[in-house]
């Protein structure tokens, strides 16, 4: 019997039978994989802690005929703060939905996993606005996937005047005031929003969350990111709408 040892995050858990679970894992070595976790719902099972949603563990799995079977797991980071907070949980579920869509089975994707883990870390361990964490995740993810917008300057003339940019979805990047006729549907941006987008696309992954913006800039980032995500992934993600109903 062949087995693999890999670190990974639980993306989904489904209860089966009396005490078992089937889990989907975003694994470091194999991308998205599913495995059965026998007895994982028994309180004394060694699999209880590591098979919770969003838990980051090191797994040992045996490769069966149809599916992996989870032999053991050692918890690295449980991220329990996420499961104990409705707002954090909703943002994590939104991020999870996108990850589940784009990560393929048996295809490792180390940079996406790193961004995912950093996002979960920021959500669970810091007071950074979840909205900002989600925007950084979305825009940086699209960049990793090969859809980085062109935001070093104006796509057409190269101007680097950040006070003056609009975001063109059609051209996938910034246009300055002089070049705006190339796409009159481009979305006008404040300097703060333009600089934030540039930072999210081009900064080191380790410091990509380390900036602060106003709520007004966050609204702008939301408009850009939501539309860009829809254009590139051909899908709308609406889990966060639920939070707006809570606030109204």
Q: What does the binding site for Zn ion look like in residue numbers (CB under 5 A)?
A: 154, 156-157, 159, 176, 179
**Least Cβ distance, residue 160 to Zn ion (angstroms):** 10
On the 0-12 / 13-18 / 19+ scale of CB atoms within 10 A, 113 is buried
**Least Cβ distance, residue 168 to Zn ion (angstroms):** 11
- Total Cβ atoms within 10 A of residue 100: 13
Do 168 and 175 touch, CB atoms closer than 8 A? yes
Rounded to whole angstroms, how far apart are CA atoms 113 and 26?
7
Do 155 and 163 touch, CB atoms closer than 8 A? no
Closer residue to Zn ion (CB): 117 or 186: 186
Give start and end residues of each alpha helix (H) in the chain. 80-83, 86-102, 110-125, 130-142, 191-202, 215-233, 241-247
Closer residue to Zn ion (CB): 16 or 157: 157
**Least Cβ distance, residue 31 to Zn ion (angstroms):** 40
**Least Cβ distance, residue 154 to Zn ion (angstroms):** 3
**Least Cβ distance, residue 151 to Zn ion (angstroms):** 13
Closer residue to Zn ion (CB): 58 or 182: 182
Among 186, 197, 192, CA closest to 152: 197
Handedness of CA 186, 189, 191, 193 (dihedral sign): negative
On the 0-12 / 13-18 / 19+ scale of CB atoms within 10 A, 66 is exposed
Closer residue to Zn ion (CB): 9 or 186: 186
Closer residue to Zn ion (CB): 24 or 168: 168
Closer residue to Zn ion (CB): 33 or 155: 155
**Least Cβ distance, residue 176 to Zn ion (angstroms):** 3
Which residues in 174-209 are b (16+ Cβ under 10 Å) and which e? bbbeebbeebeebeebbebbbbbbbbbbeeeeeebb
**Least Cβ distance, residue 227 to Zn ion (angstroms):** 21
Closer residue to Zn ion (CB): 47 or 180: 180
Give start and end residues of each alpha helix (H) in 15-109. 80-83, 86-102
């Amino acid at each position: 019997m062949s087995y693999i040892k890999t670190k990974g995050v639980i993306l989904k858990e489904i209860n089966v039978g009396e005490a078992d679970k089937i889990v989907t894992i975003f694994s470091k070595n194999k991308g998205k994989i599913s495995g059965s976790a026998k007895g994982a719902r028994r309180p004394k099972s060694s699999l209880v802690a590591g098979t919770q949603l969003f838990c980051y563990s090191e797994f040992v799995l045996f490769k069966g005929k149809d599916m992996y079977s989870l032999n053991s797991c050692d918890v690295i980071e449980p991220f329990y703060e996420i499961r104990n907070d409705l707002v954090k949980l909703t943002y994590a579920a939104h991020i999870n939905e996108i990850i589940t869509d784009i990560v393929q089975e048996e295809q490792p994707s180390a940079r996406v996993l790193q961004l995912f883990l950093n996002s979960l870390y920021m959500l669970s361990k810091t007071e950074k606005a979840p909205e900002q964490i989600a925007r950084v995740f979305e825009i940086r993810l699209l960049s990793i996937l090969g859809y980085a917008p062109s935001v070093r300057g104006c796509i057409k003339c190269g101007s680097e005047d950040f006070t003056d940019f609009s975001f063109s979805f059609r051209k996938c990047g910034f246009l300055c005031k002089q070049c705006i006729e190339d796409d009159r549907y481009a979305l006008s941006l404040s300097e703060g929003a333009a600089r934030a987008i540039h930072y999210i696309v081009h900064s080191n992954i380790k410091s990509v969350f380390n900036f602060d913006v106003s709520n007004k800039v966050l609204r702008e980032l939301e408009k850009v990111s939501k539309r860009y995500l829809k254009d590139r992934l051909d899908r709308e993600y609406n889990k966060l709408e639920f939070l707006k109903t809570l606030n109204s």
